[in-house]
């Protein structure tokens, strides 16, 4: 055997690991982004698509049942998300936005403002924003009791539009304010001003329900190593998020 072959394999594996762990670049918007579910700004045309294709819960759906992809932009005030979702059935059967919201169709944005990782269940070390079809934004607060779910509608502005026939192609635009881990509901403080070269913990996911009492599929943007067979770790542990790097202003 060529003695160089194992070394080449090792080098290749090292490069692959580095590529996986490298932060995802996010480029700045050069003009105002209007959250209207239309995504007509030129900046969206330049931004790269990323797949929403990592299994978390349930079976991996067929492309006719569900598929998704997303883009990101930023400015001083917001992280912007454009998600394109194809879904054959849209379900929102819980009128109370704090009740079993994860079992309705919803977009879930995970944000760790300082990319510190670690546990964030019942704390604001990170956020898991569940954006319902009606626009309400739910997450666990820091009270470890039955009233722990809170609405954080002032953190997130969203709007979606869709085709009129199934499978529904949904264009979902979102603007997210990033709050530090010092946030609390009694005294929220101000969101952070975003700057170039900032690293942010991030993951995107979609809860897909086709008519059952619970969601059939939960699909994310990043692979998660299971703990005792469980990959649904994002709402607990920000260490499973990916990372974003805000890039400086440059010509597209």
Task: Give the pLDDT confidence of 104-125 residue by residue, as tens digits.
Answer: 999 999 999 999 999 999 999 9
Least confident piece of the model among 32-41, 51-60, 143-152: 143-152
Q: What is the pTM of this model?
A: 0.90
Q: Is the pLDDT of residue 4 over 60?
A: no
pLDDT at 2: 44
Split at pLDDT 50, 70, 90, the class of 252 is low
Q: Do 145 and 240 contact (CB within 8 A), yes or no?
A: no
Q: Do 126 and 112 contact (CB within 8 A), yes or no?
A: yes
Question: Mean of the per-residue pLDDT values for the chain?
Answer: 90
The CA distances from residue 37 to 28, 55, 75, 169, 170, in Å, are: 19, 26, 18, 12, 9
Q: How far apart are CA 110 and CA 29, in angstroms?
A: 21
Split at pLDDT 50, 70, 90, the class of 134 is very high
pLDDT at 10: 39
- The arithmetic mean of pLDDT across residues 86-96, rounded, is 92
Q: Do 214 and 208 contact (CB within 8 A), yes or no?
A: no
Instruction: Kindly state the percentage of the chain with pLDDT values over 90.
Output: 83
Q: How far apart are CA 52 and CA 81, in angstroms?
A: 13
Q: How far apart are CA 23 and CA 222, in angstroms?
A: 12
The secondary structure of 101-159 as a DSSP string is: GGGSSEEEEEEETT---SB-TTSSSSEEEEEETTS-EEEE-S--STT-EEE-TTTEEEE
The strand pair at 66-74 and 24-28 is best described as parallel
**Domain ranges, ordered by start, for the chain:** 26-246
Q: Which CATH class is domain 26-246?
A: mainly beta
Comparing C-alpha atoms, which of 45, 65, 41, 46 is closest to residue 55? 65
- The arithmetic mean of pLDDT across residues 213-224, rounded, is 95
CA angle 123, 174, 169 (to 5 degrees): 120
SS3 content of the chain, % helix, strand, coil (to 5): 10, 35, 55
Q: Is the pLDDT of residue 16 over 50?
A: no
For the chain, where are the alpha helices, taking DSSP H only?
4-21, 42-46
pLDDT at 249: 83
End-to-end CA distance of the chain: 47
Least confident piece of the model among 4-13, 144-153, 230-239: 4-13
């Amino acid at each position: 055997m060529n003695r160089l072959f194992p070394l080449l394999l090792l080098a290749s594996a090292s490069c692959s690991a580095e590529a996986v762990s490298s932060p995802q670049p996010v480029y700045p918007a050069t003009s105002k982004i209007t959250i209207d579910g239309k995504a007509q700004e030129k900046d969206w045309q330049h931004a790269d698509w990323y797949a929403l294709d990592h299994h978390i819960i349930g079976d991996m759906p067929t492309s006719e049942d569900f598929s998704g992809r997303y883009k990101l932009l930023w400015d001083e005030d917001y992280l912007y998300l454009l998600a394109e979702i194809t879904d054959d059935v849209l379900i929102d059967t819980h009128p109370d936005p704090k009740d079993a919201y994860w079992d309705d169709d919803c977009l879930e944005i995970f944000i760790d403002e300082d990319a510190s990782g670690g546990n964030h269940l019942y704390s604001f070390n990170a956020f898991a924003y569940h954006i319902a079809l009606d626009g309400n934004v739910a997450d666990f607060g820091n009270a470890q009791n039955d009233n722990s779910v809170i609405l954080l509608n002032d953190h997130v502005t969203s709007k979606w539009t869709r085709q009129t026939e199934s499978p529904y192609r949904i264009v979902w635009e979102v603007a997210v304010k990033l709050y530090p881990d010092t946030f609390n509901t009694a005294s929220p403080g101000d969101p952070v001003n975003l700057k170039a070269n900032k690293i942010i913990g991030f993951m995107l996911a979609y809860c897909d329900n086709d008519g059952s009492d619970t969601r059939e599929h939960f699909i994310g943007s990043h692979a998660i190593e299971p703990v005792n067979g469980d990959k649904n770790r994002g709402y607990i542990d920000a260490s499973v998020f990916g990372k974003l790097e805000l890039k400086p202003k440059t010509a597209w």
